[in-house]
Chains A and B, each alone.
Chain A
Amino acid sequence: MTNTPPPLDVDAMLDDRTTEIIVCCGAGGVGKTTTSAALALRAAERGRKVVVLTIDPARRLAQSMGIEQLDNTPRPVAAVDTGAGGSLDAMMLDMKRTFDEVVESQASPEKARQILDNPFYVALSSSFAGTQEYMAMEKLGQLHRQALADGSHDLIVVDTPPSRSALDFLDAPERLSSFLDGRFIRLLLAPARGPARLMTAGFSVVTNSLTKVLGAQVLRDMQTFVAAFDTLFGGFRQRADQTFALLQADGTAFLVVAAPEPDALREAAYFVDRLTDDDMPLAGLVVNRASPSARTELSAEAAITAADRLQSADSSSLTAGLLRLHADRVRIIEREQHLRERFAAAHPQVPTAVVPAMASDVHDLDGLRAIGASLASQGSDGD
């Protein structure tokens, strides 16, 4: 095979004590959550003290890990083999609660209440399309600070939200910062802060338009919200910048997760480029759900020709069915191989692990162990 990427050595990454954070990212529906959980379990059973932060696990997987309750606190996962001295805690992100806690920690109780009750805050913290990204990063920062302080964990594995685009997650701190510096925010704050002469002609055009479009009451709510939030902005920006620095640090390893599909691999390629541009430490690519390889060399064309011959005599031929299934399998594998080669041609240095599709969904620790073993056995099967 041309363009064979170097195999990803998962165990070396997990065993390296300087690896403190592993971030799994990629398009939606490629198995990020399962990969995160499998890596976390494997690391724990190899002696690391691990906490895994998941965003939206499948119900049965969450149940088997004991985290079907959204309580925003890491809980120990039962039935983990702790023989090597490791442990595994898991938690599911509660985005609203994380946001509320940040507000409460940054403001006086009275001010916090004012913010938490504002309709704009309620909308922002529960339904705004970027909040989950901000809060996943915020929670990561919290877990890391706590781990440093009390030694409760030495490895944090993070699953990232199923973003519209994988980039939202990297852009979250930056977007927050630039928003806080935005002219519009200053504009909304102007009446609350300054003398009337600040209200330039441009300003009144804008507020008049906004009043016209939104109605005066919305604008007032918005102003109250921004004014109340203003005192917290500095703190927010500082935290966002800290998290960004944390992601760039040597102790962080990014794994880009994909499936052997054009869209997922295109997004993965984009992500790899973006991580490289931002000096984020890229550990490798995980290609999930690879189709199992064929068991015989017979080509798809030969199989189809033979099946056609048999079916012209007997349309219900079982052998023809076997041949067609084989041809389908070969074609899918060839297509997947081609897609992966194309990725490797453009990104030859990215260590890669290919994980074959499991026959059924993973919803217990044994299933996660099997995935972990498969992740770690790259290069041994000659693929």
Chain B
Amino acid sequence: MTANVDRPHDWPKVRLHVVTGKGGTGKSTVAAALALALATSGRNVLLCEVEGRQGIARMFDVDPLPYEERRLAKGAPDENGRAGQVLALHIDPESALLEYLAMYYKLGRAGKALDRFGVIDFATTIAPGVRDVLLTGKVYEAVQRPRGGRHKEQITYDAVVLDAPPTGRICQFLGVNSELAGLAKVGPVKSQADKVMELLRSPRTAVHLVTILEEMPVQETSDGIRELRAAGLPVGGVVVNLVRPQALSPSALAQVRDDTVDPTAVTSELARARVDVDAELVESLVAEARDHAVRRHLEDEQRALVAAEGVPTYELPRLAGGIDQGALVELAQLLRRQGMA
């Protein structure tokens, strides 16, 4: 059942996994689970967030993350109980800009002067797209970091998972570098922006979309896929999240739907299971199952639409207890079992 560590999975060439999705679909949960799933034995995975929400810290119940790569958790163990590690990075544009200036331009004193003049503020809040350029630029740096490079103490990553802005903004977010490259016709910013775009458009990147089986998110997912393709960005898989429990077999579901459940049989079964049973209880349970069947039917319709997109899809269940680190590991195992990692 469980596959072995080096078993092929669906995205062997991908170094940068971008995870997007409509609000409310649980994209941050999926990004975290994917990072854990990719961190098999001996591998380092970086999980980045860029929206200032500190969602990673909350999910893993640690202090708010600084602009610094921090060890977050062990990956989901393989069948031999071995795991790699997940590091986390909270990218904020101000820090990214100062680091960028220091790194590429050795702007020690001038960097501070820029800050004093409000340039940092301008660049990260008002100047068109600069914010997103800085955020993707930092992600690019982590993905491209050479092994044994200038800074020997720096960790290099086998994979980077980016908890990205929502589907409605994803093309704009990933495409800003091409826009900036358009604005800046020459110069270092242009060549940097071009390099970032080259990575984002290459087979080393995959943009995964998270959805739930409801009409609007599924519609937004297929719009998103179309827009990503039009922008030349590589579409990854679709992760269908928060799937309802499949406690009823197809035949049981059909009985519930057709109203052919035999109440006497249910009554005697409940009695056998030592439940204090009466007709009302049986009726209530069947009625709840009917509500469930209606929703399952709607889910199936949406599932067919997702399948029609023709990209690899993965499903994750809705966990009644909510999301904590244990739940994330459970989801990571499920993603691995389905070949996403």
Contacts and interface: CB of A to CB of B under 8 A. Distances in A.
Interface of A: 27-30, 56, 58-60, 119-120, 123-124, 127-130, 162, 164-165, 175, 179, 182-185, 187, 202-203, 205-206, 208-210, 212-215, 217-218, 221-222, 259, 261-264, 292, 294-296, 298, 302, 305-307, 309-310, 316-329, 331-332, 335, 359-361, 363
Contacts, number: 223
Interface string B157-176: 00000000110110010001
Contacts of B179: 123, 127
B307 interface: no
Nearest to B320: A331
B125 A130 contact: yes
Interface residues of B, number: 83
Given A179-B125, A182-B121, A218-B184, A59 B288 contact: no
A214 B184 contact: yes
B269 A319 contact: yes
Interface of B: 22-25, 51-53, 55, 58, 101, 105, 107, 109-111, 113-114, 116-119, 121-122, 125-129, 131-132, 165-166, 168-169, 172, 176, 179, 182-190, 214-217, 219, 245, 247-249, 252, 255, 261, 265-266, 269-270, 272-275, 280-281, 284-289, 291-292, 294-295, 298, 318, 320-322
Contacts of B320: 327-328, 331-332, 335
Contact of B23 (A29, A124, A331): A29
Nearest to A333: B320
21 contacts: A127-B176, A128-B129, A182-B118, A182-B122, A184-B118, A187-B117, A203-B117, A206-B113, A214-B184, A215-B189, A259-B24, A261-B24, A296-B285, A298-B281, A318-B249, A318-B255, A320-B269, A322-B289, A328-B245, A332-B320, A360-B215
B128 A208 contact: no
A129 B176 CA distance: 11
B273 A209 contact: no
Looking at chain A's contact residues, the main secondary structure is: helix
Contact of B110 (A27, A208, A214, A317): A208
Given A184-B117, A295-B284, A128 B183 contact: no
A34 to B, nearest CB: 9
Nearest first, the 4 A-B pairs at minimum CB distance are A28-B23, A29-B24, A215-B187, A29-B23
A306 B182 CA distance: 65
Contacts of A28: 22-24, 166
Looking at chain B's contact residues, the main secondary structure is: helix
Given A212-B105, A328-B247, A318 B117 contact: no
Contacts of A310: 269, 272-273
B273 to A, nearest CB: 4
Contacts of B217: 29
A215 B117 contact: no
A221 B52 CA distance: 30
A184 B186 contact: no
A146 to B, nearest CB: 29
B128 A217 contact: no
A352 B121 CA distance: 38
Given A322-B289, A359-B298, A58 B168 contact: no
Given A214-B189, A326-B285, A319 B113 contact: no
A156 B70 CA distance: 47
Contacts of B185: 215, 217
A209 B217 CA distance: 44
Given A29-B22, A183-B117, A213-B101, 4 more contacts: A30-B23, A124-B126, A129-B131, A164-B165
B31 to A, nearest CB: 14
Nearest to B218: A361
Contacts of A307: 273
